[in-house]
Amino acid sequence: MTYSKQQSFIDKETDFGPDNYKPIPVVLSKAKGVWVWDVDGNKYLDMMSAYSAVSHGHSHPELLKVLHKQSSQLALTSRAFYTDTLGPYLETITSLSNFDMALPMNSGAEAVETAIKAARRWGYRSKNIETDKAEIIVADGNFHGRTTTIVSFSSEPNSKDDFGPLTPGFISVEFGSAKAIEKAINKNTAAVLIEPIQGEGGIIVPPENYLSDVREICTQKNVLMILDEVQSGLGRTGKMFAFQHSDIQPDGLILGKALGGGFMPVSCFLSSSEVMQWLTPGSHGSTFGGNPLAAAIAKRALELLDEEGLIENSRVLGEYFKNAFIEMKSNVITDVRGKGLWIGVEIDPSYISGKELSMLLLKKGILSKETHETVIRFAPPLIITKEDIDWAVNIIKETLDEIVLEK
């Protein structure tokens, strides 16, 4: 593989953009389904799905039709007017998730900010928490976005260093411990905001009874249970929503990424009428949130998850893929975890770093990315086939075997 042509594009990004990412050194220019190509024509299996944003696969033909039709008809008006796409989309998403209402936004971080504002208003106006005293309990190792408020409760020092003054009102406790949450609740607690599975944290799966215990505690203490399913939602874990594995219903749900069908940023916050009633005119909004194009795409993206069996495919092939890693019995692998087509493979750093392994896989035609230096995430589009997975497993096993031999 040569990088001469690619290097010019890499140099332009480096010269004219800040160094706030460390991309894998490959320049992508085309994609279809589960495959992507670089500017030199090299082909790769996408095991990233843009952090679950491309769950339907690249350029899904049905979503492409919606994109073309709606963009030629009406793409943007702002929420100053009603449109004929937003209502049907909201009806679809609330029906699927069993919530009363949904507030549409664009990025996942915007939806998290919406949840925070909604929880605080509910705390003051429904629970009668003293003004400016509301607290929200979060989990250590969380990742909810990059805004000033959100990084204020991050556990990652580099996420918040020199971005202060940080926003108060958040209490962070051990992830996976319902007892830690219960202990942290006081009269000022408005909500608990957690991920069902921590994605950026390294695909960390909590104990089986965690969410059900948190649900019970929040109900008893009159505290909102809000789940961030920006990455884990919409079929990624083998259920429409990750919380369904625990047979519970949260008080609030944050969705994004796959909601845009791989075409544009779409997110939302869902909750009850009791919580949403306090978001009155002027209190919150977004020029692009719920725009006609986004609403049309999101509605169809939701429908396709069921119509094309993508959730069941995630469940079945996710289990198959996960077991394949376990059966490798490689000395390089120290742990395999995840649900559905969302798998974290922990590697022994004495053999190789996560970044180095990602680079080796890149050379063999697999796009992957490390997190926390020692975890490789595998999250392909939900349309992936068993044949695609078998091909990837052979490549990965071959690579790990070579690493052990070289050691």
Show pLDDT as tens, one digit a residue, over the chain (407 residues): 444 689 999 999 999 999 999 899 999 999 999 999 999 999 999 999 999 999 999 999 999 999 999 999 999 999 999 999 999 999 999 999 999 999 999 999 999 999 999 999 999 999 999 999 999 999 999 999 999 999 999 999 999 999 999 999 999 999 999 999 999 999 999 999 999 999 999 999 999 999 999 999 999 999 999 999 999 999 999 999 999 999 999 999 999 999 999 999 999 999 999 999 999 999 999 999 999 999 999 999 999 999 999 999 999 999 999 999 999 999 999 999 999 999 999 999 999 999 999 999 999 999 999 998 899 999 999 999 999 999 999 999 999 999 998 87
Strand order through the sheet with 101-105:
101-105, 267-271, 252-255, 224-228, 189-194, 135-139, 170-173
Cβ 301 vs Cβ 56: under 8 Å: yes
User: Which residue among 228, 239, 241, 322 is the active-site one?
Assistant: 228
Catalytic (active site) residue 143 = yes
Task: State the DSSP code for 339.
Answer: S
Q: How far apart are CA 194 and CA 16, in angstroms?
A: 36
Structural tokens at position 145? 């976005």
Active-site position among 257, 299, 322, 369: 257
Give the distance from CA 295 to its chain's centroid.
Answer: 19
Helix (H) or strand (E) holding 362: helix 354-363
CA distances (Å), origin 118, targets 38, 111, 272, 371: 43, 10, 11, 31
SS (H, E, C) 58-107: ECCHHHHHHHHHHHHHCCCCCCCCCCCCHHHHHHHHHHHHCCCEEEEECC
Strands 224-228 vs 252-255: parallel, antiparallel or unpaired: parallel
Diameter of the chain by CA atoms? 64
Question: What is the rounded CA–CA span in Å between residue 38 and residue 44?
Answer: 8
Q: In whole angstroms, give the CA distance from residue 39 to residue 388.
A: 22
293 to 62, 148, 198, 255, 323: CA distances (angstroms): 14, 29, 30, 17, 40
Domains of the chain, each with CATH number or no CATH: 4-59+309-406 (3.90.1150.10), 74-307 (3.40.640.10)
Write the CA distances from 330 to 58, 327, 371, integer angstroms: 32, 8, 20
- Closest Cα partner for 197 from 176, 178, 216, 169? 176
* In contact, 104 and 296? CB cutoff 8 Å: no
Place of tokens 């944050």: 254
Q: And the tokens for 43?
A: 């082909």
Tell me the DSSP string of 155-214: S-HHHHTTSPSPP--EEEE-TT-HHHHHHH--TTEEEEEE-SSBTTTTSBPPPTTHHHHH
Is the pTM of the predicted complex or chain greater than 0.85?
yes
